[in-house]
A and B are shown apart, each in its own frame.
Chain A
Amino acid sequence: MSHHIPSRRRVQWFAVSSVAVLIIAMVTGVAVGPTSIAVSQVLADIAHHFGLHVGHVSSLNDTIIWQIRAPRMVLGVLVGAMLAVAGGTYQGIFRNPLADPYLLGVAAGAGLGATIALVHDGGAVTPPAWTPWLAFAGAIFAVTLTWLIGGQSVRATTATLILAGVAVAALLTSAQTYLQQQASAQSIARVYIWLLGSLATASWSSVWLVLPYVVVCVTVCVAAGRALDALSVGEEEAKTLGVPVRRIRLIVIIASSLGTAAVVSVVGLIGFVGIIVPHIVRLVVGTSYRRILPLTVVVGGAFVVGADTIARTILSPSELPLGVVTAAIGAPVFVSVLAWRRGDHA
C-alpha cells in the first residue's frame, strides 16, 4: 500500500485529460456513423448553432449533425454522468464497493413500468410515448418501497436498506417477468431491447426532459462529497463528529435515485457505468469523494459517449445494445487500470 495519497498534481492532470477525452469523444461521435462527416464540418456546424458563422455546411449534414447525432452525444453525457455519480455516491453512503445506481430497486421498478407500457401497447412498431413516464413512476415507486421497508425506523442501517432493496428488486422483477411472459413475441423482443438500453431514440426533447433532473441531482451528489468523506469512519463515529448521518443519507439517496430514474426511463437499463467509472477514478485519484465525484461526472460522460459510438458503428448500419458495449469495453479497461495501479504502488 502506498504511504502517501495521490498528489494534487496527479488529480489535476487526470481532470484535464478527462475533459479532453470527453470533448474528443463527443466530436468523434458526431463525425462517425453510416455517413462520415469531416471533423472541420462538425465544428463549423456546432459553431453555426452557437451563432458563429465559419465555413459552409450542407443542410443534409446539418440535419445529421445537429438533429440526429449531437443530441445523442449530449444525452450520452447526461446519462453517463448521472449513472457514474450515482454509483460513486452509493458506494460512499453504503461504504460498499459493489453498490451501483440500481442498488435500491430503481432498475427493477423502471423495468416493470416500461414492460407494462410496452406490453399494454400490443405490437406497435414504436414504443408508446408514455413508456418513459411509466418507467420513471416504477423506479420512484421501487425506491420509495425500499425506503419504507428498510430505511425508516430508528434502528435502520445501510445494511437493512440494501437488503430491503434486494427484496423489492426481486419482487418487482418477478412481476415484470410474469408480464413479459404473458405477452406476444414482438412485445417480448421490445421489452428485451429496452432492458438492454440504447441512446437510439435521442432527440433534443429527450435531452431537455432529463437535463433538469441530471443537473440538480448531480450537483447534490457532488456537494455531498465532504459528507461522504466524513462517513468513511463509519456511521457511529461520524455521528460523534457532528455529521447528521440520517439526513445526509436521505438527501443523497433521493438525489441519486431521482436522477437515475430520470435517465433510465429515457434510455433503458445501461449497466456497469455506475460501478466501473467510480472505481477507475478512485484507482487514479485516491479515496476522497471530494475528488472522485466531480471526476466521475466527466469520465462517466466520456465513457457512455465512447461506448455508444462503438455500439452504433462496429456492426453498422445495425446497432449493438449499449449495455453490451459498456460491459464489453468496461471490464477490460477496469482490469487494466487495476493492474496499472498495482504496479504503481510505492
Chain B
Amino acid sequence: MRVVVDALSVRVGKAQLLEDISCVVGEGQWCTVVGPNGAGKTTLLNAIAGTHRPTSGTVNIDGHDVHALGERERAGRVAFVPQTPIIPAGMSVASYVLLGRIATTGVMRAPSTSDRALVDNVLDRLALRALAERDVATLSGGERQRAVIARALAQNTTTVILDEPTTGLDIRHQMDVLELLHVEVRECGLTVIASLHDLTLAGLYADHMLLMREGHIALADTPSRVVRSEALAAAYETTLQVVTVDGRDIVIPAPAR
C-alpha cells in the first residue's frame, strides 16, 4: 500500500479535530474525502501531507513516516495543493512550476536542464505552454488552478494531496482539473487523495471514498455505495436523492416539502 494512515488523531487545545483515523490508499488509486464543513477533511489532508503534526498515530507513504522526514525528503515523496494557495505576483508561470523542483535540486542551486525538461513536459500535459511567460497572478481561476497542480506534479512524487481543487471553478474547469488528474492516475500510476464538495463529481472520479463526520470516518467504501448510503444524508444532516443516468450516480438535494 502506498499511503497508510494508522490511528491518526489530531487535537488542538480542547478540540478533537481528528479521532482515530485509519485508512489505506494503493498505487494508482484515487481516494476522495467528502463530508460537511468542519468534519475534519482539511486537517486530515494536512496531516497526511505532513504539514499538520498529529497528536498520535502515523502516516506512512511508500514505507516512510512522513512526520519523521525533513522538509526536503517529504517534498520528494508527497506533493500538496492547499485549498487557497498563495499566488506570488510578478512570477512567471514557468518559474512558479519550477518551484516544484526545489526538493530535488535544492534551494541554493539553479534548476538543471532535466528540471527544465520535466517542467516543460508538465506544462505541455496541462496545456500551460502558451502561458509559460505570463505573470501567474494574472491568470484566470481555471488557469491558476492548473498552474498550482502543475507545480505539484513537477515535484514528481508518487502521491499528490489536493484540498478542494475545484473550489471557485465553473463546471467545465472543474471537469478539466479532475480529468487531468484522472489521466495522471491512470497513465502514471499517481496516487491522489483529494477532498471535494460536489458529491456527483466526487463519485465520478474516485476509486475509493471516505465520508467524514465530526472528526471520524463515518463510512469508507466505493463511491456508489457511499453516495447511496444513509450515512451520507446523516453526515450532512439533510435529505439527498440519488438518481442514476447512463450508469452514473447523480446526487441531488431533496428538500422535504
The interface stretch among B91-99, B194-202, B206-214, B229-237 is B91-99
A4 lies within 8 A of chain B by Cβ:
yes
Within 8 A of A (CB), among B61-112: 70-76, 79-80, 82, 85-92, 95, 99-100, 102-103, 107-110
A241 in complex: contacting residue of B95, B103, B135, CB < 8 Å: B103
B36 CB to closest chain A CB (Å) equals 25
Taking CB atoms, residues of chain B closer than 8 Å to A243 are: 71, 102, 107
Of A232, A234, A241, A248, chain B has the most CB atoms within 10 Å of the CB of: A241
A237 to B75, CA, bound (A): 10
List 3 A-B pairs, minimum CB-CB distance, nearest first.
A242-B75, A242-B103, A287-B90
A286 lies within 8 A of chain B by Cβ:
yes
A175 to B95, CA, bound (A): 48
Q: Give 16 A-B contacts (CB < 8 Å), ordered by A residue.
A: A2-B138, A5-B91, A226-B110, A227-B107, A229-B91, A234-B86, A237-B80, A237-B85, A239-B51, A240-B71, A240-B75, A240-B80, A241-B100, A241-B102, A242-B74, A242-B75
User: Would you call A5 and B85 a contact (CB within 8 A)?
Assistant: no
Q: Interface 1/0s, chain B 151-185, versus A by CB < 8 A?
A: 10001000000000000000000000000000000
User: Would you call A248 and B135 a contact (CB within 8 A)?
Assistant: no
User: Would you call A230 and B107 a contact (CB within 8 A)?
Assistant: yes
A287 to B89, CA, bound (A): 7
A288 lies within 8 A of chain B by Cβ:
yes
Contact A226:B135 (CB < 8 A) given known A239-B71, A243-B102, A245-B71:
no
Q: A227-B108, A232-B88 are in contact. List 17 more A-B contacts (CB 8 A).
A: A3-B135, A3-B138, A4-B135, A5-B90, A5-B91, A230-B107, A240-B71, A241-B75, A241-B103, A241-B151, A242-B75, A242-B76, A244-B72, A248-B107, A286-B90, A288-B91, A288-B95
User: Would you call A233 and B135 a contact (CB within 8 A)?
Assistant: no
User: Interface size bucket, A side?
Assistant: 20 to 34
Taking CB atoms, residues of chain B closer than 8 Å to A223 are: 108
A2 to B133, CA, bound (A): 12
Which residues of A line the B interface, CB within 8 A?
1-5, 223, 226-227, 229-230, 232-234, 236-237, 239-245, 248, 286-288
A232 to B135, CA, bound (A): 14
B49 lies within 8 A of chain A by Cβ:
yes
Taking CB atoms, residues of chain B closer than 8 Å to A237 are: 80, 82, 85-86
User: Would you call A226 and B107 a contact (CB within 8 A)?
Assistant: yes
User: Would you call B51 and A236 a contact (CB within 8 A)?
Assistant: yes
By beta carbon, the residue of chain B nearest A240 is B80
A223 to B87, CA, bound (A): 23
Q: Interface 1/0s, chain B 42-54, versus A by CB < 8 A?
A: 0000000111000
Contact A241:B134 (CB < 8 A) given known A229-B91, A230-B102:
no
A243 to B51, CA, bound (A): 13
B137 lies within 8 A of chain A by Cβ:
yes
A202 to B74, CA, bound (A): 51
B71 in complex: contacting residue of A2, A3, A229, A244, CB < 8 Å: A244
A87 CB to closest chain B CB (Å) equals 18
B69 CB to closest chain A CB (Å) equals 10
A237 to B72, CA, bound (A): 12
Contact A242:B72 (CB < 8 A) given known A227-B108, A230-B107, A233-B99:
yes
Taking CB atoms, residues of chain B closer than 8 Å to A3 are: 134-135, 138
A226 to B95, CA, bound (A): 11
A287 in complex: contacting residue of B82, B88, B99, B138, CB < 8 Å: B88
B47 CB to closest chain A CB (Å) equals 13
User: Would you call A288 and B108 a contact (CB within 8 A)?
Assistant: no
A233 in complex: contacting residue of B73, B76, B86, B107, CB < 8 Å: B86
User: Would you call B133 and A5 a contact (CB within 8 A)?
Assistant: yes
Taking CB atoms, residues of chain B closer than 8 Å to A229 are: 88, 91, 95, 99
Taking CB atoms, residues of chain A closer than 8 Å to B89 are: 1, 287
Contact A241:B99 (CB < 8 A) given known A226-B107, A233-B85:
yes
A232 to B89, CA, bound (A): 9
A275 CB to closest chain B CB (Å) equals 19
B43 CB to closest chain A CB (Å) equals 14
B152 CB to closest chain A CB (Å) equals 9
User: Would you call B80 and A4 a contact (CB within 8 A)?
Assistant: no
A70 to B180, CA, bound (A): 63
A242 to B133, CA, bound (A): 24
By beta carbon, the residue of chain B nearest A223 is B108
User: Would you call B82 and A236 a contact (CB within 8 A)?
Assistant: yes
By beta carbon, the residue of chain B nearest A235 is B86
A227 to B107, CA, bound (A): 6
A170 to B88, CA, bound (A): 33
Taking CB atoms, residues of chain B closer than 8 Å to A226 are: 107-110
A1 in complex: contacting residue of B74, B135, B155, CB < 8 Å: B135
Taking CB atoms, residues of chain A closer than 8 Å to B133 are: 4-5
Of B76, B99, B133, B137, chain A has the most CB atoms within 10 Å of the CB of: B99
Taking CB atoms, residues of chain A closer than 8 Å to B79 are: 240
User: Would you call A232 and B71 a contact (CB within 8 A)?
Assistant: no
A27 CB to closest chain B CB (Å) equals 35
User: Would you call B138 and A1 a contact (CB within 8 A)?
Assistant: yes
A244 in complex: contacting residue of B82, B85, B107, B135, CB < 8 Å: B107
